[in-house]
Structure 1
Amino acid sequence: MTREQLFHIADDWFQTQSWKPFPFQKQTWTAFLQGKNGLLNAPTGSGKTYALWIPIVLDYIQKNPDYKNRHKQGLKAIWITPLRALSVEIKQAAERIATDWNVPMTVGIRSGDTTSAERAKQKEKMPDLLITTPESLQLLLATKGYDKIFKDCTAIVIDEWHELLGTKRGVQVELALSRLKTIAPKMRIWGISATIGNLEQAAEVLLGPESEAYRNSVLIRAHIDKKITVKSILPEKMDSYPWRGHMGLHLIDEVMPIVRKSKTTLIFTNVRSACEIWFQRLLEKYPELAGDMAMHHGSISRETRLWVENAIRNEELKVVVCTSSLDLGVDFAPVESVIQVGGPKGVARFLQRAGRSGHQPGKESVIYFLATHAIELIEASALKKAVKDTTVEDRIPYLNSWDVLVQYLGTLAVSDGFFPDDIFEEVRQTFCYQAMTRADWQWLLNFITKGSQSLQAYDEFKKVEIESDGRYKLNDRRMALHHRMQIGTIVGDAVMNVKYLSGGYIGSIEEWFISKLKPGDVFVFAGKKLELYRVKNMQVLVKAAEGSKPTHHASWLGGRLALSAQMSELLRQELYDANSGKPSVELNSMAPIFRRQRKESIVPNADEFLIEMFKTREGFHAIFYPFEGRFVHEALASLLAYRISLLSPITFSLAYNDYGFELLSDQEIDIESVLDNNLFASIHVHQDLQASLNATEMARRKFRDIAVIAGMVFTGYPGKVVKSKHLQSSSQLLFEVFREYEPDNLLFQQAYRETFEHQLEEGRLIKALERIQYQKIVVKHCEKPTPFSFPIITDRLRERLSSETLAERIKKMTAQYMKT
């Protein structure tokens, strides 16, 4: 059958659906049928699923002309999705084609939700088309005789590749593909990605930089004029001092007209706690929404989430309050409007959420931006321009993730075993491990067979045996079971109990926060000032510290979205435009704030870096404005506090948000002196960060995840999970052993590397320092806090006051500062 005849089948089917194929769909069909690999860049809701299911089925028809009478059993194509929730729709699309074209192809799903009965059935007879997740694909590779399962596979599609890129799940996919290329040489590899800044690199990571698959590949862009309209929800009156609203709830009445005029509205919040509160407040204020409103986030049961998704499709819900759990892929035609509460902190996330409305080709997407405090309107203005210019972030791929590779080698050893020279060549073809040396490889082989240099005395680390033919094999049944149960790279954050030394339980806190503290540091938690005494077996032992000034306030990862590098750049540019005389609607509405800011200080230009200094009853404040995002500011605040303390003895309390950070002390900084001493120098950053942030403690926490992924500690059986404190103590013991006896251990070194590269964003911090060095530093000695500093100060208050008390306190502060 010629390609024209094959396309005729697809075109006729599109006509029966009253659709017309897009050029990008036909381009993809052509490239696939020519035997090419590729990456398809297409917006959500544009028909990308049919761009690849259709050529997969057409390819089968072409190679099996007598398919209606003689159907060849076995796996023919795999579709990888990062979210189980998307599996049902992807399956329905494939079944629709197979049924309508009378092609006897079966479609199956294999994920964590697949029943044991269904898995057993698949073991006997695999479906023709399989939808699965990165973890379940690894489990298939851990099956004896897996090469027979995959040998006739002609295609593998990795959906939402932009979500997997830059994560260890993405590395898992890279490794799986490296094996499948060998055992199924005719298999075509295709990725589907929304727009990202480094699309060419995304294709390189997917296919392998030096591979034949990459050389025989295409990058197809869907040029669809998808109209996205961004509207800001503006308050009637803008205050001069932009205090933080309670998650934007002060604008709740502005939301209802949008809800009433739309068929269905999704209200996106950035964190689960805000999702819960918005749902409750809407119900309290508008009881008529009862029965027409639902909530959706990752902690809600799967059954409830599925019910909500189906109810949206069936037009049974007027409004759904949700988090990122509804960011991806699900087709909700009835959704007409999306409301984003608070800055999404990234352009890609904002575009993804905007695409939930008008989720059909040719339909307009409408998204409303609801700023939780006035300065967030700068973000809204910046996002409008980003949407217009389609300016989105890069996704930075991982390099040398040794923990994922150790797990992968265990997977191959559990199934049929592997020959090291063969697998070395395959792994070296991946982007993640392209720089791996023979010495690195030999270390990894020694690690899985002998437990590395410092663990040779312990049999539980000698998992893999070398057989007489040179094959590496894991033969111990118990160890093999443990490995299969622990396949994956998503490790949950451990929760630590906070207790007084003298006894008495105070509460629980996430370990990442405690990892930043050193013994003797004072922090505020549960309304109490506490001094950290020690961390032991996942317990945080503290003493009361009523008379001391706290240096930290307890915080949780739930609220820790930070500005992306791209968003920071856009935000700075927008702020500089506030001085240009051509501001946007959002910046115009902020006129009272800018007037007040200029009265007390300045609105900086592109060549200026602003530092504000003033005194209140709390002490001496120094506020710095890099506009680089919370994570960078957290590291930068600690770095500068450390450097200043080297010049003269001084103690600081730190506060930060996405726009700037505060150093608060009981004595004034001699700012001219510290600036003359290269305060913003980009040299020695690594050493100064290590000294200021207790990097060893942070790396110790990071190592726990690495130890779990690499299988050094066992997380337990279903229903009998190993307690976090045991996991932590086991991994800490290993960390200390490596630190003392084997500092060149690759997994130990990886813990430090990931701490600086991913947690502290060291590279981005250095770039910020280099930028500041070229700017003119403007130090403003102010009489009182300025509008720009106000959200930073109130953020610090928020940590220790209830919402009501905070509102009263801010009201008094606003009245006081407004006095001229």
Structure 2
Amino acid sequence: MVSMGAFSLLCRELREKLAEVGVERETEIQEKAIPLILEGRSVLLIAPAGWGKTEAAVLPVLHMMREVKEAGVKLLYITPLRSLNRDLLNRVARYAHALGFRVGVRHGDTSSSEREAQARHPPDVLITTPESLQAILPGRLMRAALRAVRWVVVDEVHEFLESKRGSQLAVLLERVREVCGGFQVIGLSATIGSPESVAEFLAGGGAKPEVVSLDIGKRVEIRVEYHEPSGEDASSAEKVGVNPWLLARARRIVELAKASGRVLVFTNTRSTAELLSRVIAELSPDVEFGTHHSSLSRDIRVEVESSLKSGFLLGVVCTSSLQLGIDIGELELVVQYGSPRTVTNLLQRVGRAGHRAWKKSSGVVLAETPLDIAESLAIVRLAKRGWLEKPRIPEKPLDVLAVQLAGLTLDGRRSLREVYDVVRRAYPYRKLTVDELKEVVKALGWSEQHGRLVAKRGVWRYYYENLSVISEREEVEVVDDRGQIVGYMDPRFVALYLSEGEAVVFQGKVWIVAEISRDKVKLAPSREHMGEIPWWEGETIPVPKEVADEVFEVLREASEEPGDYARAAESLARYEAVDYQAALSLIKLARGTLQALGVLPSRDIMVAEKVGDSIAFYYPLGRRGAEALGRAAAFKAASLVGRPVGLRISPYGFVIEGVEELSPREALPSPGEFEEALSSSLRYTPLLKLAVSEVAGRLGAREEAEKLLDLSPEQLAAAIDGTALLKQAIGDIQHKYLDAGVAKEVLERIHDGSIRLRVAERDEPTPLFTEVSSRFPEVVRPSSISSLPASGSLRDRVVAELSRSPLSAYELSRRLGAPLKDVLDLLVQLKDEGAVRDVLVPDAMARIWVLRKKGIESARVAVSELIELRSKIRADRISSVSSLIRALDMLGAVSPRRLLKMTGSSSEDFREALQRALESRRAVLVHTLAGGQLILLSEQFSSYVMGVKPFKMSKLSEVTAELLKIMGAATAEELARRLGESTRSVRRSLAELQALGHAVCYGREWKYRRRVESWEWRPHGLLLLLLKSGPKTLGYLARVCNASRDEVLEALESTRQVVKLIVRGRGVRRVLYCLRSHFNAILEARERSRPR
């Protein structure tokens, strides 16, 4: 039976449905909210996932909807994600159908037929996103359906607030209010700070919602752990090719998962999620873990969600993609990998554990560094006190206003005053002036005549091209060997670090890059242990100033803990939410820093540490405050020394590099200098280009901006000076990255003496310096260095610098005074041309660039010439063994699939001929170490063996060799059964034996082969065999030869039979190697095509 609490206020049909689905009593939030909603009050419900917020909002609304006889959409339910829509449809529909109401979902994937049906026969409840709501508002039929709206539910409202989607939503709600005359609004939010400002955001032109919330700080149990690697971790890490500290944390995750049943492991970046997933798979192949982040395809994400819910997966490594309320069933534990950076993140993520009311949520934070321990503990302490970050709601973004201005004119609002009155009711635009609105009208190229707006042509197109205010990032589609989309990669990562034949980690698995085109990467399964870890731009979570304050308080308390290190750590671990190892590392950091600096930074003390040519400033600024003060200080320092300087930003301060002649006091700007220094620094930052490109389309200046983006940041700022475009671009940078108010207040307090500046000059850096300076650097240029050098000039200077010594991209950027992005783009180009190579320095996890000595002829060719060449490299159709042998003699070592394609043979004839050739021992099937297959003539097999770089045979391969020697011949399946191993493992061993010349494969059967034990690696014969079938990438050749790219390139350079092709055109840029005879064919074709 359903209880007699708030549910008793609902109609019989809803009470029966609740009983039917097993809901017996109200949660605390439902008990509080349902009576208020039934009274007609607007409310804001704040509670973690699993407390039934959706039911608390929907059930009383459905109850009241019975009294509304008007046709049309009565309840508008707005959610941030389409995946939530699908989940919501099932939850809302079961209650709505009990009362005979129809529920519809409207988002980007809704079919045209379903949209048409909704317009003609509107549902009673419409679940949608802001983008789809914007799309339907001007439509005649849907606009008529929205006149019936009496209730609006905004789900996961916290997800909207800090982005421009929130500004868009606020105006859309006012536009809906204009259509229907008013509605009762219900906001649903996870844990969030400043609920009163959130309520005002939802209110707009209506009644302010009443806040109904739960204090969940005391409902969570969280501890911080720190794990050092064991000897076993160190040896395993070397095998896998990762940091042993990472392996130790991965081992702990597996332990926690096995102990608790199922876990979610949250990471702060997609890159970390990929790396951690891969390490867990290598560490514990018997444990099923999934990977979930926004750059994986929707199908994969949905599959992971359902697999976790069904219990098939023991855990999922994810980003904030699972922080929202997607239903994944009950979990006992959440693991946060590294500091969660904010209190809100920690509570929302740990709140996924339990995921049911009345249960405590349990979480473990696995800290990565000693400073990470301090940050994690500070966040846990703030959470226990009930402190939460206040949302930073954008103030009157003009680009969003421009699109809504177009929407309001399509709604029929033609007067400037009418538009102004509607927009001003939206919370983000409450301070908008008429002059600012006129500025937007001007930016759009519109005019005002007698108080009425006159729009230029193309308003409909402009409006519908800008439905989304989510920044569109250029992405490269990733597909598997079956052609299925598995996700998306950052194009700069693809350009810098991927080439065909390279191993890459994606979806937590290792793949081989089979093919790269302008907008697609094709992957094939690999047997490698590890590969390149993809990265994506824009993944930093800013640490708030209040957290930074608490971190230095944690360090102070840790430094004062009495006793030796062991006794102090034991004491700290007893009363703080940390384990012994975390406490010990924290005390070592605190005491070491105090001993080195003489004082710890605090709210009243800024410490400057000068080491060599670098100055570190330590103060609890938070990430955004440090960005503002650091940029202003670095700009002033660069102007004083007359050259570019390096800048590294941390929530706990910043480091300026390359300023040996300056004192810390000289580098800091005065309060009067601050705003000008910060404004000037933003005009020179590469962030300006990104901000302009994102804003331009919504301000109707996309084409103009595309022409300007080739300019340097300074030239760009000058070209758009005084426009709404520059004003909004700078505003976006400041909102997203900076807190100028915090920075200015700190400078004023230094100026009036309430913050003391303590300076420490040292020969060796402190532990705190090492932690803060580990952040990724950027270059800040003074105003005296104007525009960027021309690309040719920059190329010459980069080559000249690398001819002196290998350097990182950052060091090049700093030395040349050029933006890091431009240097990276040039290095990619030089790498493609073979002029430079990049080397990973494992200890520093950084890449240095080395000038390559040219020793091979290179030529530029067009894509069309390459296509034509490949079309000519063919052999006759294969219909017999003899025709197959002729084809292999012409095409060399080639994969079965490629050979079939190049001969145009029928599959049936090809398979029969190949089987007969293998049975008669005239051809050999080679299983490469990279996981592919090649067909060779039997007499060419020795070239393969000599061409594969020698390696140490695995233990399983040794046992397999002995068994095969005894059996004489056997299939992989037979060997696997005898050895008690998986067929996959045995096939890998057989590939090793084949590469070493101890086995040969004739179809399914493997034969033992005796060979001479001592030989010299000679790859030339194999390389020429591989190139006979057409141009190949260096990565592919290196994979087959089991050698490094540099070793293979050296071998290619030693023969005059190979030419390097630099292929450009149709948006493609690739480097291939081909036989000279093939290159001569290109030259002959060029000669024939010339006009006589």
Structure 1 residue 624, shift from structure 2 partner: 1.7
Q: Which of 382, 394, 413 is the equivalent residue of 2:390?
A: 394
Q: Which of 212, 216, 222 is the equivalent residue of 1:220?
A: 212
In structure 1, C-alpha distance between the alignment counterparts of 2:300 and 2:674, rounded to whole Å: 48
Q: Which of 18, 21, 30 is the equivalent residue of 2:35?
A: 30
**After superposition, where does 1:605-644 map in structure 2 within 5 Å?**
606=602, 607-615=604-612, 620-644=613-637
Which amino acid letter does the alignment assign opposite residue 778 of structure 1? R
Name the structure 2 match of 1:760: 738
Which amino acid letter does the alignment assign opposite residue 487 of structure 1? L
Secondary structure of the 2:109 match is coil
In structure 1, C-alpha distance between the alignment counterparts of 2:260 and 2:220, rounded to whole Å: 16
* Structure-2 change in CA distance of 1:764 and 1:587 (3 Å): farther
Name the structure 1 match of 2:10: 7
The answer to whether the Cα contact below 8 Å between 1:419 and 1:471 also exists between their aligned partners in 2 is yes
**After superposition, where does 1:648-663 map in structure 2 within 5 Å?**
652-663=645-656
Name the structure 1 match of 2:764: 784
Q: Which of 274, 277, 285 is the equivalent residue of 2:275?
A: 277
Does residue 408 of structure 1 match 2:413?
Answer: no
Q: Which of 66, 82, 98 is the equivalent residue of 1:84?
A: 82
Name the structure 2 match of 1:305: 301
The answer to whether the Cα contact below 8 Å between 1:622 and 1:663 also exists between their aligned partners in 2 is yes
Structure 1 residue 475, shift from structure 2 partner: 7.0
**After superposition, where does 1:50-65 map in structure 2 within 5 Å?**
50-63=55-68
1:411-467 deviations in Å (ceiling 9; x for gaps) = 23345564443332111212222222333334444554x447xxxxxxxxxxxx98x
* Structure-2 change in CA distance of 1:633 and 1:48 (3 Å): same
In structure 1, C-alpha distance between the alignment counterparts of 2:702 and 2:473, rounded to whole Å: 15
In structure 1, C-alpha distance between the alignment counterparts of 2:418 and 2:219, rounded to whole Å: 49
Name the structure 2 match of 1:704: 693
Which amino acid letter does the alignment assign opposite residue 777 of structure 1? L
Structure 1 residue 165, shift from structure 2 partner: 0.8
Does residue 484 of structure 1 match 2:478?
Answer: no
The answer to whether the Cα contact below 8 Å between 2:415 and 2:453 also exists between their aligned partners in 1 is yes
Q: Which of 16, 24, 30 is the equivalent residue of 1:19?
A: 24
Name the structure 1 match of 2:851: none
In structure 2, C-alpha distance between the alignment counterparts of 1:590 and 1:23, rounded to whole Å: 39
Secondary structure of the 1:360 match is coil
Structure 1 residue 281, shift from structure 2 partner: 1.1
1:732-783 deviations in Å (ceiling 9; x for gaps) = 89x9999779855434422233333433332232234345552222222334
Which amino acid letter does the alignment assign opposite residue 349 of structure 1? N
Structure 1 residue 331, shift from structure 2 partner: 2.4
Secondary structure of the 2:608 match is strand
In structure 1, C-alpha distance between the alignment counterparts of 2:51 and 2:410, rounded to whole Å: 41
In structure 1, C-alpha distance between the alignment counterparts of 2:378 and 2:396, rounded to whole Å: 35
* Structure-2 change in CA distance of 1:384 and 1:326 (3 Å): same
* Structure-2 change in CA distance of 1:249 and 1:686 (3 Å): farther
Secondary structure of the 1:375 match is helix
Q: Which of 677, 680, 688 is the equivalent residue of 1:691?
A: 680
Name the structure 1 match of 2:554: 574
Which amino acid letter does the alignment assign opposite residue 764 of structure 2? K
Name the structure 2 match of 1:519: none
In structure 2, list runs of 5 or more residues that go unmatched. 1-5, 231-241, 477-489, 494-534, 562-570, 778-807, 811-838, 848-1092
The answer to whether the Cα contact below 8 Å between 1:81 and 1:133 also exists between their aligned partners in 2 is yes
Name the structure 2 match of 1:326: 322
In structure 1, C-alpha distance between the alignment counterparts of 2:401 and 2:640, rounded to whole Å: 45
In structure 2, C-alpha distance between the alignment counterparts of 1:306 and 1:662, rounded to whole Å: 43
Which amino acid letter does the alignment assign opposite residue 702 of structure 1? A
The answer to whether the Cα contact below 8 Å between 2:227 and 2:245 also exists between their aligned partners in 1 is no
Secondary structure of the 2:391 match is coil
Secondary structure of the 1:75 match is coil
The answer to whether the Cα contact below 8 Å between 2:228 and 2:248 also exists between their aligned partners in 1 is no
1:386-433 deviations in Å (ceiling 9; x for gaps) = 221221101121222121111012223345564443332111212222
Secondary structure of the 1:623 match is strand
**After superposition, where does 1:344-743 map in structure 2 within 5 Å?**
344-414=340-410, 416=412, 418-448=414-444, 450-451=445-446, 480-493=460-473, 509=492, 557-581=537-561, 583=572, 584=576, 585=578, 586-602=582-598, 604=600, 606=602, 607-615=604-612, 620-644=613-637, 652-665=645-658, 667-669=660-662, 671=663, 675=665, 679=668, 681-695=670-684, 698-713=687-702, 728-729=706-707
Query: Normalised by the size of structure 2, how large is the TM-score?
Result: 0.59
Structure 1 residue 646, shift from structure 2 partner: 5.3
* Structure-2 change in CA distance of 1:806 and 1:341 (3 Å): same
The answer to whether the Cα contact below 8 Å between 1:660 and 1:792 also exists between their aligned partners in 2 is yes
**Percent of residue pairs identical:** 26
CA RMSD, 1 decimal: 3.7
Does residue 206 of structure 1 match 2:202?
Answer: yes
* Structure-2 change in CA distance of 1:421 and 1:657 (3 Å): closer
Name the structure 2 match of 1:769: 747
Does residue 804 of structure 1 match 2:842?
Answer: yes
Structure 1 residue 57, shift from structure 2 partner: 0.5
* Structure-2 change in CA distance of 1:237 and 1:294 (3 Å): closer
Query: Normalised by the size of structure 1, how large is the TM-score?
Result: 0.77
In structure 2, C-alpha distance between the alignment counterparts of 1:157 and 1:603, rounded to whole Å: 52
* Structure-2 change in CA distance of 1:124 and 1:473 (3 Å): farther
Name the structure 1 match of 2:727: 749
In structure 1, C-alpha distance between the alignment counterparts of 2:845 and 2:221, rounded to whole Å: 33
Higher-RCO chain (CA-CA 8 Å, sequence separation at least 6): 1
Name the structure 2 match of 1:43: 48
In structure 2, C-alpha distance between the alignment counterparts of 1:636 and 1:221, rounded to whole Å: 36
Secondary structure of the 2:590 match is helix
Q: Which of 92, 95, 100 is the equivalent residue of 2:93?
A: 95
* Structure-2 change in CA distance of 1:375 and 1:7 (3 Å): same
* Structure-2 change in CA distance of 1:621 and 1:739 (3 Å): closer
Secondary structure of the 1:359 match is coil
Structure 1 residue 187, shift from structure 2 partner: 1.7
Structure 1 residue 18, shift from structure 2 partner: 3.9
In structure 2, C-alpha distance between the alignment counterparts of 1:8 and 1:630, rounded to whole Å: 51
Structure 1 residue 328, shift from structure 2 partner: 0.6
Moved more, 405-414 or 633-642: 633-642
In structure 2, C-alpha distance between the alignment counterparts of 1:160 and 1:202, rounded to whole Å: 12
* Structure-2 change in CA distance of 1:258 and 1:247 (3 Å): same
The answer to whether the Cα contact below 8 Å between 2:44 and 2:186 also exists between their aligned partners in 1 is yes
The answer to whether the Cα contact below 8 Å between 2:226 and 2:368 also exists between their aligned partners in 1 is no
Which amino acid letter does the alignment assign opposite residue 611 of structure 2? F
Name the structure 2 match of 1:535: none
Which amino acid letter does the alignment assign opposite residue 108 of structure 1? G
1:186-228 deviations in Å (ceiling 9; x for gaps) = 42112112232221011112212xx3423xx422223568621
The answer to whether the Cα contact below 8 Å between 2:337 and 2:365 also exists between their aligned partners in 1 is yes
Secondary structure of the 2:105 match is strand
In structure 1, C-alpha distance between the alignment counterparts of 2:845 and 2:436, rounded to whole Å: 57
Whichever of the two has the greater Rg, that structure is 2
In structure 2, C-alpha distance between the alignment counterparts of 1:612 and 1:744, rounded to whole Å: 40
Aligned length: 702
Which amino acid letter does the alignment assign opposite residue 10 of structure 2? F
In structure 2, C-alpha distance between the alignment counterparts of 1:187 and 1:668, rounded to whole Å: 65
Q: Which of 148, 163, 169 is the equivalent residue of 1:167?
A: 163
Structure 1 residue 377, shift from structure 2 partner: 0.3
